[in-house]
Structure 1
Amino acid sequence: MSASMAPSSSAPGLPAHWRRPLALLVLTLVALLLLYRETATAMVAIWLRSDTYAHGLLVPPIVLWLVWRQRHRLAGLVPEPSPMAVVLMLGAALLWLLGDLVAVNAATQLALTMLVVLAVPAVLGWQVALALLFPLGFMFFAVPIGDFMMPRLMEWTADFTVLALRVSGIPVYREGQQFVIPSGHWSVVEACSGIRYLIASVTVGALFAYLNYRSARRRALFVLVSILVPIVANWLRAYIIVMLGHYSGNTIATGVDHLIYGWMFFGIVIMLMFAIGARWSEPSPDMTLPLTATGGASGRFRPAVLLALALVVLAPHGVVWGLAHAQNQTPPQLALQGSLQDGWQMAERPSPDWKPAFQNPSAELFQGAVKGDQPVGLYIGYYRSQNAERKLVSSSNQLVTYSDKDWAEVGAGTASAPWPGGAVPVRQAELRASLVGSAGAVRLLAWQVYWVNGRLVTSDVLAKVHGALSRLLGRGDDSAVVVVYTPIGESAARAQQTLAAFVQANGQAIEASLQQTRQR
């Protein structure tokens, strides 16, 4: 065979020293997606059903394109497995385990993305990962996280809109996220938060900055602009829509028009932002010039590192399997143990048309009580064998949902409940029925607290932490939400006294009922 016909590693195509590592990376990624397929399919389902996170469908193809355009630069690097990356993957696996134990989709999906990203340095090494720093970081835009910002964004939108209306000379009466002007009633709901605009802007803005700038300062500045512009633009959008409705007698900028005008305004603002940003674009680096390996990378195949990687990604599933078999699967039977104390008697619930919006509890107790002229309602939502569809702490579990047309939460804060074992901090909310400003609107004062692993906690985060610890210790995931409420009659202070009297007298019976249910 002549020399001209002999195979050569310099021939066009995949370099020889990349073939085995790249095959191992593909196998690792496929194994991750198969092992964590429930988490992966949950992410895809959110992309498909949510307008806010629909961009997630485009993130993986964009990442692959960003990697492909650097293929000539990567050819000069020498892939080598990294033990430190495997250690970091262990942390991501632990995060996935904790998220799965308490059914926090955001945690499991973030952890899966971390595992996918860290698989690159684990198999190919840190030099390759650093060369692909932005594409790997861009993967995190696929994680559907952001709903936690919605209440704050809604509050800011309402604050700005009301202030702008008053500056414009229009009188406004506001309660919570609802307000009244002479021409009608308006509410700031989820669609008004601007979360869709913000996430879309930051995602596209980060990609634009990476492709158009080389300076880290310019990139960071443009990303900051892509955060601020949609927030302010959403405030202006809300104000303009209210003004259009006001001056048109509510014939335009309502219903579907509301959304159409909003997206049109947002599209114009974002196009202007990119047009201005393009004026300071910098030349792109030459993607045909290969990078060179530094630090004496050897390209050695390290079976021990890959074996450790396999154990790391498998371990959480073994723990989940073992805990699932120890979980009490019996449907809980919830009932108040004994009779009410200190003169309280069973009675009809006050405001029977209202109920806390906690989704899919395993068991519920909802009843009323009265002492003299002091009525109280008690709601307990009990959760066992929690999963994505049935869990205690969730963004969809609220005293009143934003979409509720009959009730609204018009005030929120904290209070101290005199529980028999000592004072317990609780969430306090003021709820209002009917329309804003209605003189005869029914108002309720509600206290809410979580019962997790025998502890009373107020924080969503602490409820999740105690739930995860309870499962890890083999005690199951039984937990509950306890809500007591009473009508606000003459004053909120008297309503607080009524709730305090009921909790002090009957808190022990409530806890005993929860403990009894847990043991069944």
Structure 2
Amino acid sequence: MIARETSSATAAIDPAWRLAGPALFLVLLLILALFRETVVDMASIWWRSDTYAHGMIVPPIALWLVWRLRAGLTALTPRPSYLAVLLLAAAGFGWLLGQVAAVNALTQFALVAMLILAVPAVVGWQVARWLAFPLLFLFFAVPFGDFTQPKLMEWTADATVAGLRLSGIPVYREGQHLVIPSGNWAVVEACSGVRYLIASITVGTLYAYLTYRSLWRRLLFVLVSIIVPVLANWGRAYMIVMLGHLSGNKLAVGVDHLVYGWLFFGIVILAMFWIGARWREDEVLPQASVDVPASGSRASVAALLTAGVATVLVAGLWPLALWQLDHATGRELRSLAPLGSIAGWQKSDAVSPYDWQPRFAGADAREQAVFAHDGRRVGLFVAYYRNQDQQRKLVSSTNVLVASDDPVWARVAGGVKEISFDGQPVRVRTAELRGLESSRLLVWQWYWINGRWTSSDAIAKAYTALSRLTGQGDDSAVVILFAQQDRPGAGDATLGDFAAVAGGEIGNALRQTARGR
């Protein structure tokens, strides 16, 4: 049963809203117009991605939540806050950092933060506190969460293997690939459960806000909405493998694999909401006490207009700053500087498995070659990027060694290793790839960002942002070495010997390419 207070019907509407309301609406529209490219990027992700399709309904839900609070809202007195304008400036700088580092999530979070901060900037913190949940709920519109996929996939594989073994089914596991007597299975991105997790957190947070009034119950339900989908996804993965195994691979394969998964997830989430409803608290919509301000304390027309103009001007600084940085871009790159001779190593033909290629799209220039020495071979792959943007960039979730749907290669192991390269210690990422014909490749990967070496995606992004902000451009490259791992340790020894003598030549080639900006 929902009880509503009726005293709000007689609540006075502060006359300042006649100007403050339209002013806030206009400021929000202008901010959206200034950052329209970011808005379009977000909307395109909502449209094409099943994982983030919920983003399309987040703004309408937020507006509905504001409408529910309208009675108390109109009784509040708008009072602009210049502190909020300063905070909005900081969010704008975050947007600029996201743009120069080509980090979509950072630009989108920053844009939402600017929209939220525009509310206290124009109409004050009292109004913003009143609308705290609807405003903060807008953050769920940002497509964010893909970074959890590797860990969720690992946990799902762990749980599936444990369940199968408890069921008496022998399992051989290599990476995220499982082999049982009835066939082979792989835990890929779609099996990570990130879709279930994001959907559950979004809906669970809204449900907690609407169902409970006490903070601890709301937080507890949000926590449950995080844990339950993870556990449900483990059960879903185990159930699908068992269905396939027991049916001779006639069930839970192909399209029905996903259908069964969503059906199971839906049942679990509905059960979670049904159980949560047992402790619901009758809703009493909060009402604002009518605070009649003393003479002269109400925001003047000049103050409201000044705050609105200041908010738009501060927000508009950052697209202008980006425009200036974009006009300092380097000239178009067509090829890498030639690689000098590498002592003891000669170029060789690329025979299997050295014809393998990493998946790095959008590079301005790339080089792939195979070098041989005393019967040993090393593959070298370099992809070089300049004038990067949100669609074409070095560090991206789509730039990988092996895609999950690769018909030939699968990644079965990974780690990190410290080597000496180009006269300095470099921490590289390692991976072991398995081919269809049981051939194996050991791969070393790291980045070069305008003269700096790193294997960290986050540090590479930070170096890129720093380089662009200091006017040095964003020239960057990925360097990948690979060798056949025909016996334990053989690949490491081969790659280590090659890196020791080739580091200087590779570094020089990258630096010469950058000097041609």
TM-score by length of 2: 0.94
Counterpart mapping for 1:415-434 below 5 A: 415-434=417-436
Cα distance in 2 between the residues matched to 1:416 and 1:347: 27
The residue aligned with 2:298 is 298
Give the Å deviation of 1:490.
2.1
The residue aligned with 1:480 is 477
Structure 2's unaligned 5+ residue stretches are 1-8
Query: Which letter does structure 1 place at the counterpart of 2:391?
Result: E
Query: Which letter does structure 1 place at the counterpart of 2:265?
Result: F
Paired residues, number:
503
The residue aligned with 2:6 is none
**1:450–1:457 Cα contact (<8 Å) kept:** yes
Cα distance in 2 between the residues matched to 1:184 and 1:245: 9
Look up the SS of the partner of 2:407 in the other structure.
Answer: coil
**2:12–2:74 Cα contact (<8 Å) kept:** no
Deviations 1:206-245 (A, max 9, x none): 1111011000010001111111111000000000000000
Are 1:506 and 2:499 counterparts? no
Look up the SS of the partner of 1:16 in the other structure.
Answer: coil
Give the Å deviation of 1:334.
0.9
**1:409–1:429 Cα contact (<8 Å) kept:** yes
Task: Describe the shift of the 1:295–1:403 C-alpha distance in structure 2 as closer, same or farther (beyond 3 A).
Answer: farther
The residue aligned with 1:461 is 458
Task: Describe the shift of the 1:53–1:295 C-alpha distance in structure 2 as closer, same or farther (beyond 3 A).
Answer: farther
Give the Å deviation of 1:17.
1.5
Give the Å deviation of 1:12.
10
Cα distance in 1 between the residues matched to 2:487 and 2:182: 31
The residue aligned with 1:448 is 445
Deviations 1:18-44 (A, max 9, x none): 111111111111111111000000100
Are 1:344 and 2:345 counterparts? yes
**1:127–1:293 Cα contact (<8 Å) kept:** no
Are 1:408 and 2:413 counterparts? no
Cα distance in 1 between the residues matched to 2:115 and 2:359: 36
The residue aligned with 2:4 is none
**2:31–2:312 Cα contact (<8 Å) kept:** no
Query: Which letter does structure 2 place at the counterpart of 1:433?
Result: G
Query: Which letter does structure 1 place at the counterpart of 2:441?
Result: L
The residue aligned with 1:6 is none
Task: Describe the shift of the 1:136–1:401 C-alpha distance in structure 2 as closer, same or farther (beyond 3 A).
Answer: same
More displaced, 401-410 or 255-264?
401-410
More displaced, 108-117 or 419-428?
419-428
Give the Å deviation of 1:353.
4.0
Structure 1's unaligned 5+ residue stretches are 1-9, 435-439
**2:80–2:120 Cα contact (<8 Å) kept:** yes
List structure 1 runs of 4+ shifted beyond 4 angstroms. 10-15, 293-297
Query: Which letter does structure 2 place at the counterpart of 1:193?
Result: S
Are 1:366 and 2:350 counterparts? no
Deviations 1:145-199 (A, max 9, x none): 0000011111100000011101111000111111100000000011101111111
Query: Which letter does structure 2 place at the counterpart of 1:348?
Result: D
Query: Which letter does structure 1 place at the counterpart of 2:386?
Result: R
Are 1:65 and 2:64 counterparts? yes
**2:422–2:507 Cα contact (<8 Å) kept:** no
Query: Which letter does structure 2 place at the counterpart of 1:472?
Result: L
Q: 1:496 aligns with which of 489, 492, 495?
A: 492
Cα distance in 2 between the residues matched to 1:70 and 1:261: 40
Query: Which letter does structure 2 place at the counterpart of 1:81?
Result: P
**2:446–2:479 Cα contact (<8 Å) kept:** yes
Give the Å deviation of 1:416.
1.5
**1:102–1:464 Cα contact (<8 Å) kept:** yes
Query: Which letter does structure 2 place at the counterpart of 1:316?
Result: W
Cα distance in 2 between the residues matched to 1:249 and 1:294: 75
Give the Å deviation of 1:14.
6.5
Query: Which letter does structure 1 place at the counterpart of 2:365?
Result: A
The residue aligned with 1:4 is none
* Two-structure CA RMSD over aligned residues (Å): 1.7
TM-score by length of 1: 0.94
Query: Which letter does structure 1 place at the counterpart of 2:479?
Result: V
**1:80–1:299 Cα contact (<8 Å) kept:** yes
Give the Å deviation of 1:293.
4.2
**1:332–1:384 Cα contact (<8 Å) kept:** no
The percent of aligned pairs where both chains have the same amino acid is 52
Look up the SS of the partner of 2:507 in the other structure.
Answer: helix
**1:344–1:370 Cα contact (<8 Å) kept:** yes
**1:478–1:518 Cα contact (<8 Å) kept:** yes
Counterpart mapping for 1:273-292 below 5 A: 273-286=272-285, 289-292=287-290
Give the Å deviation of 1:457.
0.8
